[in-house]
A and B are shown apart, each in its own frame.
Chain A
Amino acid sequence: MKLTTALTMTAMLLTTAAPLSAETLRWARSGDALTLDPHAQNEGPTHTIRHQMYEPLIIRDVTGAFVPTLATDWAPKADDPNVWVFNLREGVKFHDGADFTAEDVVFSFNRAKQPNSDMKELIGSITEVRAVDDFTVEIVTDGPNPILPSNLTNLFMMDKGWTEANNTVDVQDFEGGEITHATLNVNGTGPYTLTSREPDVKTVMTRNENYWGINDFPMEVSEIVYTPIQNAATRVAAMLSGEIDFLQDMPVQDLERVNAADGLVVKQAPQNRVIFFGMNQGADDIEADNIDGKNPLADVRVRKAMSMAINRDAIKQVVMRGQSQPAGMIAPPFVNGWTAEMDAESSTDIEGAKALMEEAGYADGFSIRLDCPNDRYVNDEGICQAAVGMLGQIGVTVNLDAKPKAQHFPLITDGSTDFYMLGWGVPTYDSEYVFNFLVHGREEEIGTWNGTGFNDADLNAKIKSLASNTDLEARNADIASIWRTVQDEALYIPIHHQVLNWGMAENVGIEVDAEDQPKVKFFTMK
């Protein structure tokens, strides 16, 4: 593999002069970054690796709160609601020594809006980015966009000069198999520099001793060695044998073993992902059931009865080994619009469910096919199996069809499943994102993951108006009322919030990040 020789040498020179501790963090998870080009793929593990070396204007800390990064502060412009003003941090340098200025921000946004960019959807509302002076940038949107900063936390800043000098102004054409200088090399402003990279094998990063925040963050790790390990048993064995200090994607069944091992701890937090079932309630008749000429799922009483038949605590204890948080709504906690009351609106009541079924005219029940992935969410197939038994108690005979994610998800997007499992994460931390994909009626650009056939014109209009409502109080009231409809209509059957587990050696100090994106500059090493 190619070594970025120049960077390595700089890094080595700097490390020898380091006054800080020399600690190596050996880090493993199941997959690797797909590319290092900051705008070529919008994918979790890929962003996680970039976050160590590149920086966006704003990042989130482990609690989900904004942390000023390359921007020091930001606000909508006083006289124009369509413009956000960002003040940039001064004195920041890229790894190659070039200064970070407004010009680089303008360049990076324009690059991220190119057709090959995978980040373009997130900043689709931006029409122009202009530099006011060296350290002030104005971002113009096609209408007021109150939650624009939420969409920028994975939008990394590149150096205009370096990018132009290395012919990587165009975003790597990932699907076309293009390899550019930026695929394998990095010149960011971030806390670590790239030392070496072999895709899918090993990536080594070294502390950037010239980092602007070197005194503001712990920065106790001097070298990161990142190794993807696909096999779950091998991943745990590597942790138990002390070859790994920090592990993501911990298999649920091994949590106790790792926790019981000397010198290792497992930390957990609710993840930004909720698991639920969707039901096709829009069709007059559905194919997956045994009732002709009628669609039992179109009756809200049936949907409510099915939700009441699910024993979420039993799923938590038996299927998830305690690693889940029963859910009553399909948004993770920490998302704007989530309320504890609505999240508690799920109860198990078999007798009540049976009564509802009878009222709806399905006292004898019906049979239906449930489509479920078996390699996407934690114990996904096990959850579905448990649901089969639970729904059987109220006369709903479920035929489970579990298959790999690559076969499962097309069923939802092309509308060929009537009863399915789906999990949803909310990268923007705002309910609008949930509504856009899961509640708005399915259209070309919106409602793309709404497989329920639910399509309410009034609600659609309300959802669309959220994007440009700058009166945050009125906007939150709208969000609450949309949620009320979703809950009352029993649009989905929420199951639980996934819990995220990180394994680490005792000397590693970091709290679990709901987005599953560890940022090593926050790590302490005792």
Chain B
Amino acid sequence: MLAYIIRRVAQSALVLLVVGLAAFSMFRFVGDPVENMLGQERTAADIERLREQLGLDQNFVVQYYKFLEGAVQGNFGVSYRQGRPVAEILIERAPATLELAAVSGVLAILFGIALGVFTAIRRDGWVANGIMSASLIGVSLPTFLIGILLIYIFSVELGWLPSFGRGETVQVGNWSTGFLTSSGLKALVLPSITLGLYQMTLIMRLVRSEMLEVLRQDYIRFARARGLRSRAINFRHALKNTMVPVITVIGLQVGSIIAFAIITETVFQWPGVGLLFINAVQFVDIPVMAAYLMLISVMFVSINLIVDMLYFLIDPRLRLDRAGGH
């Protein structure tokens, strides 16, 4: 067990290093940050001086090494665009993204499971069929289109909900929250639906198919034969057995909700880390891009690590004949 964990952690660290190296080798192709930082009145000498000051005249491997050196000490450098330490900006922006991701995640899980169970039990009803057809929209429409559609209907036409921003926020310690004001809550509605819709339909379709599978099993038939109420059968026996794969998928989707918030945040001008990243790409703000990419890869790698270890704990078969990676 311990050897397995150590091996997985070492592999994860290697993955992180490679991701970082790949990112740094690509930054050169995004463009020249110096061009954006100096006005049109700058001279060749200004460009040279700034390039040297930022260390851009060096090889990308050297730049990457310097970044890592700072990163292990918690110093991610200084944003070229805002002229402030990247770590400070990320901490300031994280609450917006995490609150949005949390609300979207909860919505996706609640509605996804409820609708999945409903469509599985009433699989021939016209309501269930309607829901299933509608869910195709969630799976197939791109996020930015859903966002723009929602803005058009609920902000422009109906005028019920704001089209951009977080509304009023309240500062609780270092955490700025939108949960405590009515405008903050209203501002959360459209972005969280936009962000969570894909995950919701995914969970719903997964729950439905797993549930249909389980309902066909012998122990469900025996339960029926014993005369148990269908409510007990559906929720106590069937749903419980459906949840194992569903939980795995939910775990993996948590990461993508945070990572894919980029598009939703851009559409709704949501002041989170995703929007920060988009701005950074446009401005060639290398320190911000590097920190964000590293952060997201750390997140994905640790989620995968945790999921792997959970498999190990949950599934005894893996423990017995485990030899290599899975």
Listed in ascending order, the chain A residues whose CB lies under 8 Å from chain B are 34-35, 40, 42-43, 118, 121-122, 172, 174-179, 183, 198-202, 227-231, 233-234, 237-238, 240-243, 375, 403-407, 409-410, 413, 424-425, 437, 444-445, 448-449
Nearest 7 A/B pairs, CB to CB: A406-B31, A177-B78, A241-B155, A407-B31, A174-B83, A201-B271, A121-B41
A176-B78, A405-B35, A409-B35 given as contacts; is B268 within 8 A of A234 (CB)? yes
Contacts of B151 in A (CB 8 A): 233-234, 237, 241
Contact between A177 and B163, CB atoms less than 8 A apart: no
B251 at the interface (CB under 8 A from A): no
Residues of chain B within 8 A (CB-CB) of A174 are 37, 83
Shortest C-beta distance, A393 to chain B (Å), equals 33
Q: Provide the bound-state CA to CA distance between A449 and B156, in Å.
A: 44
Segment from B211-219, B274-282, B296-304, B306-314 that makes contact with A = B274-282
- Partner-contacting stretch, out of B43-51, B220-228, B230-238, B252-260: B43-51
Mark out the residues of chain B between 265 and 295 whose CB falls within 8 Å of any chain A CB in the assembled complex: 266-269, 271, 275-276, 278-279, 282-284
Tell me whether A448 and B44 are in contact (CB under 8 A).
yes
Q: Interface size class for chain B? A: 35 or more
Cβ B84 vs Cβ A177 within 8 A: yes
| Given contact pairs A230-B279, A231-B266, A231-B269, A175 touches B31 in the complex (Cβ within 8 A) | no
B269 neighbours in A (Cβ, 8 Å): 227-231, 234
The chain A residue sitting closest to B86, CB to CB, is A177
Contact A179 B83 (CB under 8 A): yes
A241 and B80 form a contact (CB under 8 A)? no
The answer on a CB contact under 8 Å between A242 and B47 is no
- With A200-B279, A413-B47, A444-B44 known as contacts, the answer to whether A405 contacts B267 (CB < 8 A) is no
Main SS of the interface on chain A?
loop
Instruction: Using A176-B78, A231-B269, A234-B269 as known contacts, say yes or no to A242 and B279 having CB atoms under 8 A apart.
Output: no
Min CB distance, B71 to chain A, in Å? 15
Q: Would you call B33 an interface residue if the criterion is a C-beta within 8 Å of the partner chain's C-beta atoms?
A: yes
Q: Are A175 and B80 in contact (CB under 8 A)?
A: yes
- Distance of B152 from chain A, by nearest CB (Å): 7
Query: 5 A-B residue contacts at CB 8 Å?
Result: A121-B43, A230-B278, A234-B164, A242-B159, A448-B44
Task: Give CA–CA (A198, B178) in the complex, Å.
Answer: 15
The answer to whether B266 touches A448 (Cβ under 8 A) is no
Is A175 a contact of B42 with CB atoms below 8 Å?
Answer: no
Interface residues of B in 145-199 (CB under 8 A from A): 148, 151-152, 155-156, 159, 162-166
Residues of B74-126 at the interface with A, using a CB-CB cut-off of 8 Å, are 77-85
Partner of B82, one of A199, A241, A406, A444: A199
Interface digits, B16-56 against A, CB 8 Å rule (1 contact, 0 not)? 00000000000001111101110111111101001001100
With contacts defined as CB atoms under 8 Å apart, how many contacts are there between chain A and chain B in the complex? Answer: 138
Q: Give every chain A residue within 8 A of B80 (Cβ-Cβ).
A: 175
Considering the chains assembled together, what is the distance between the CA atoms of A64 and B164 in angstroms? Answer: 34
The answer on a CB contact under 8 Å between A122 and B43 is no
Q: A121, A198, A201, A375: which contacts B282 (Cβ < 8 A)?
A: A375
Report whether B162 and A406 are in contact in the complex, using a CB–CB cutoff of 8 Å: no
Interchain CA distance A229-B267 in the complex, whole Å: 9
- Whether A406 lies near B164 (C-beta < 8 A) is no
Please indicate the chain B residues that have their CB under 8 angstroms from the CB of A407 in the complex: 29-32
CB closest residue in chain B, given A198: B271
Pair B83/A241 contact, Cβ less than 8 Å: no
Contacts A42-B39, A177-B84, A444-B43: A229 and B164 contacting too (C-beta < 8 A)?
Answer: yes
Which of A201, A233, A375, A424 touches B267 (beta carbons < 8 Å)? A233
In the bound complex, residues from chain A placing their C-beta under 8 Å from that of B43 are: 121, 444-445, 448
Residues A237 and B31 in contact, CB atoms below 8 Å apart: no
| Beta-carbon contact of B83 and A230 below 8 Å | no
B164 touches A243 (CB 8 A): yes
User: How many angstroms from the CA of A425 to the CA of B41 in the assembled complex?
Assistant: 11
What's the nearest-Cβ distance from chain B to residue A230, in Å?
6
